[in-house]
Amino acid sequence: MSDIPPANADLATSWEYLEDGIEHIMMRLQSGVSYSKYMSLYTVAYNYCVNSRAGSSSDFGSAARGGAASLQGSDIYNSLIRYFICHLKLLRDASADLEGEELLRYYAAEWTRYTTGANYINRLFTYLNRHWVKREREEGRRTVYTVYTLALVQWRGSLFAPIQQGNARLASAVLRLIEQQRDGQPIDSALVKSVVDSFVSLGLDESDPTKVCLDVYRDHFESPFLAASETYYKKESQAFLAENSVPEYLKKAEERLREEEDRVERDLNTHTRRPLIAQCEDVLIRARAELIWDHFQVLLEFDKYEDMQRMYALMSRIPEGLDPMRKRFEKHVKQAGLDATRKLIFDGIEEDVEPKAYVDALLTVYEKNASLVTQSFNGEMGFVGSLDKACIDFVNRNAATGTSDLKSAELLAKYVDILLRKGNKVIEESHLERELGRIMILFKYLDNKDTFQQFYQKRLSKRLIHGQSASEDAESSMIGKLKDACGFDYTHKLQRMFTDMRLSSEITAGFKNRMESEGNTETSLSVSVLGTNFWPLAVAEHDFTVPQEVKPIINRFTGYYNAQHNGRKLTWLWHYSKCELKLNYTHQQYVLLASTYQMGVLLLFNRRDSVELEEIVAETGLPKEMVLQVVVPLVRAKVILAEGTRYDLNPDFKNRKIRVNVNQLIKAEVKKEEREVIENVEQERKYMIEATVVRIMKARKTLKHQQLVQEVIVQVSPRFPPKLQDIKKTIDGLMEKEYIERVDGTRDTYQYMA
């Protein structure tokens, strides 16, 4: 390199020195450039730009805008353009016969060398960029660029465009490499990345070269890449499905989508991710959706959790992908529930359904499919909704319920009664809380929660009255769960029943102390004093004559209670009472656990050994039909012997147990209780609908018929599904009672009457 030109050197002298240095940087940079030499090049470029005495011709018409500095800036800028054009022509000629990967390697190597050199040269002309280029662009010359950008513009026009013209040699070579990689062949990913990055770098925004513009990348690479990807995957998916199963195809599609995600991350511009993945999803998933949906049922039937998880992940990628799966899942769960309950029916007799078996069947179906939703469908709310809809269907209407909408609530309440009753052998006490939680799952799906409440209350009353509750903590826990699910009003009466039992214990203790102080200890009495409004207890339809043996203590308690609570009336419910009787005539002393009616019959044998049926009827005051039902368990236990209508005391009575329970449920009484519950439910529903209509109208004042009906349905549905005719009948009844009236001149608008 010649000596550094003087500060006032002309263009020819200055450029000769600069061109020699630029050529070294562009072609022999690996041999190095000393710091002093680099600074001398910078100084020459600086001196020429600021030398006001120099002047020369210019390809840019800047002289009219004034200033020698403008001319010198344009001269040196034009010299750079000519250099880049000549330099790139040599590269273009060298690439003319290259193809495929060989072309890519040449292109990538030259691109790296060229852009590295252009960066160094750009810093040499910092002053030119900062002053002359900046002023030119501010004056509207958008084709003037900083030196580095100028180098890219020249590469794009003088090398990239000629190579790409015609058969797009660069892009085609890159696409062939990507296809080879998709076919499982190893390729040089760094080479692909380098070429693709050059496509991005060559996109220049004319208005602001500092901004990234992807026009070149999109036009010359992304568009043909997407088209090639679509063609490749259409062909591959068709061929793969012809020889493999749907689950295998799902694995293949999942793998391909993951590969394309990795390819974008590794080799391509991130802008390509969305269109590429969308196109792959369209080809691999949407185009095969019908086949995939049809196979979903097979996966459900054979519990293919992993395959369903994969299918869910893939189908969730397209907007319409999951809805058909949700519908099929709902249908599958509903059918599974119906099949499970159908197996519980013996010879078409619905009464044979055992509550525990029924609850276990329903929960088995629910838990299996809830686990499926969690594991395979990621707990997605759409599938949760499908599970809920299916459970509502089969929990409320199945083979075990028959035509009754209330049967499921009844069976569920019976099972809770079994769990909470003393002597429960169905489940260990340590697991009781967990089982109650499982019960609440089914309770959530009950349409007729008010029916469950009535049956639950009825059985709770018996557990409390007869002291058969296994655990007060478990009882409180269950009521708490019901309260959380349905609110305070739902459990108010249930909680009040426990209050009555505590007060009754205090009353009984006080009465016992009174009896002991008076020296009366032969007969013990425990009484439950229960509030009429909170207990589902009905007065017996027949009379009962209290035996003379217990009448004195009954009278004493009545007097004691009346003295404590003036103005209250006691009504004795003998059909809910029970007693213990000692057999003193046998060698072994037995204790009979009997109903009060059975006690009335047995105490007759204190005065005789044989009693006629008519005598029992006369002395107990019970109807003949009731007496016959009462004595059957006594005869079956051989406490008494029957001959026609005469009953004899059995002097040779023996039993393996010391305490013998003869207080068995009378089937007729059970049926009667069930009818009473149903009647109470119907009555309570009428009251609730009526109260709801009044509450809505009081708040809204005026409302159209359809709006009123809809609001009633919304408010009542958490307890039971109301019938439209019942709502209409209630509205008509309230108009008759003058709670509401039709607005004058309308037929479908009501107003509240204060």
pLDDT at 722 over 50: yes
Q: 558-576, pLDDT tens digit by residue?
A: 888 988 888 788 889 998 8
DSSP 72-105: HHHHHHHHHHHHHHHHHHHHHHHHTT--HHHHHH
Token pair belonging to 260: 């394309």
Instruction: Please give the C-alpha separations between residue 198 and each of 156, 167, 216, in angstroms, as whole numbers.
Output: 10, 19, 9
Structure confidence at residue 69 (pLDDT): 40
> Can you state the angle between helices 189-201 and 100-124, rounded to 10 degrees?
50
597-622 tens-digit pLDDT: 999 999 999 999 999 999 999 999 99
Query: What pLDDT score does 522 carry?
Result: 63
Q: Judge if 301-503 and 669-752 fold alike in CATH terms.
A: no
For the ranges 177-186, 209-218, 383-392, which has the lowest average pLDDT?
209-218
Distance CA 660, CA 650 (A): 15
Q: Which of 393, 284, 372, 279 is nearest to 329 (CA)?
A: 372
User: Residue 351 has what pLDDT?
Assistant: 62
| CATH annotation of 669-752 | 1.10.10.10
Stretch among 190-204, 343-357, 443-457, 595-609 having the lowest mean pLDDT: 343-357
Strand, coil or helix: 400: coil
pLDDT band at 62 (very low <50, low <70, confident <90, very high): very low
Rounded mean pLDDT, 30-38: 88
pLDDT at 579 over 70: yes
- Predicted pLDDT of residue 666: 59
Q: Nearest CA to 15 among 69, 64, 82, 63?
A: 82
Start-to-end Cα distance in the chain: 110
Task: Judge contact between 665 and 655, C-beta under 8 A.
Answer: no
Query: Would you place residue 675 in the very low, low, confident or very high pLDDT band (cuts 50, 70, 90)?
Result: confident
> What residues does 660 pair with on adjacent strands?
592
> What pLDDT, in 10s, does the model give residues 321-342?
999 999 999 999 999 999 999 9
| Residue whose tokens read 């602001």 | 208
User: Could you tell me which residues are beta bridge partners of residue 579?
Assistant: 594
Please report which helix (H) or strand (E) contains residue 450, including its range: helix 449-465
CATH number for the segment(s) 538-666: 3.30.230.130
SS3 223: helix
Q: pLDDT per residue over 256-275, tens digit each?
A: 999 999 999 999 999 999 99
- In this structure, what DSSP letter does residue 326 have? H
3-state secondary structure of 204: strand
Other beta carbons within 10 Å of 746: 12
Whether 118 contacts 151, CB under 8 Å: yes
Render pLDDT for 642-666 as a digit per residue (tens, 0 to 9).
Answer: 999 999 999 999 999 999 999 876 5
pLDDT, tens digit (0-9, with 9 covering 90-100), for 517-530:
887 766 788 899 99
The vertex-452 CA angle with 446 and 458, nearest 5°, equals 170
User: Judging by beta carbons within 10 Å of its beta carbon (0-12, 13-18, 19+), is residue 193 exposed, middle or buried?
Assistant: middle
CATH topology of domain 301-503: 5 helical Cullin repeat like (1.20.1310)
Question: What is the pLDDT, as a whole number, of residue 72?
Answer: 67
Q: Is the model's pLDDT at 348 over the cut of 60?
A: no
The pLDDT confidence band at residue 70, using thresholds 50, 70 and 90, is: very low
pLDDT score recorded for residue 695: 94
Tell me what the mean pLDDT of segment 77-81 comes to.
Answer: 95
Share of the chain above pLDDT 90, in %: 71
* Greater pLDDT, 532 or 338: 338
Give the tens place of pLDDT for each residue, 114-145.
999 999 999 999 999 999 999 998 888 888 99
What is the model's pLDDT at position 269?
A: 95
Question: How open is the CA angle 539-540-546, to the nearest 5 degrees?
Answer: 105
- The position carrying tokens 């007969």 is 523
- Phi, psi dihedral angles at 93 (to 5 degrees): -65, -35
pLDDT of 670: 62
Answer yes or no: is pLDDT of 501 > 50. yes
Q: Quickly state the pLDDT bin for 492 (edges 50, 70, 90).
A: very high
Average per-residue pLDDT for the chain: 90
Span 228-299: which CATH code? 1.20.1310.10
Which of the four pLDDT bands, split at 50, 70 and 90, describes residue 534? confident
Question: Contact at 8 Å (CB) between 687 and 719?
Answer: no
**Which residues share a beta bridge with 469?**
421
The predicted pLDDT at position 667 comes to 57
Q: Which of 104-113, 508-517, 599-608 has the lowest mean pLDDT?
A: 508-517
Q: Are 430 and 400 in contact (CB under 8 A)?
A: no
CB 648 within 8 A of CB 610: yes
Q: Which residues pair with 94 in a beta bridge?
A: none
pLDDT-derived band of residue 713, with 50, 70 and 90 as boundaries? Answer: very high
C-alpha 358/C-alpha 340 separation (Å) is: 9
Decide if pLDDT at 60 tops 60.
no
Task: Round to whole Å and give the CA distance between 282 and 253.
Answer: 11
> How large is the greatest C-alpha to C-alpha distance in the chain, in angstroms?
151
- The reported pLDDT for the residue numbered 669 is 62
Distances (CA, A) of 146 to 60, 127, 153, 572, 671: 16, 10, 10, 107, 98
The ranges assigned to domains in the chain are: 11-165, 228-299, 301-503, 538-666, 669-752
**112 CB contacts (<8 Å, ≥6 apart)?**
194
Residue with tokens 């903590």: 473
pLDDT digits (tens, 9 = 90+) for 363-420: 999 999 999 999 999 999 999 999 999 999 999 999 999 888 899 999 999 999 999 9
Give me the phi and psi of 155, to 5 degrees please: -60, -45
Q: Are 4 and 17 in contact (CB under 8 A)?
A: yes
Q: Flag whether pLDDT at 466 surpasses 90.
A: no
CATH class of 11-165: mainly alpha
- Per-residue exposure over 397-421, b if at least 16 CB sit within 10 Å of its own CB, e if not: bbbbbeebebbbbbbbbbbbbbbbb
Bridge partners, residue 592, by sequence: 581, 660
Which residues have a Cβ under 8 Å from the Cβ of 238 and sit 6 or more positions away? none
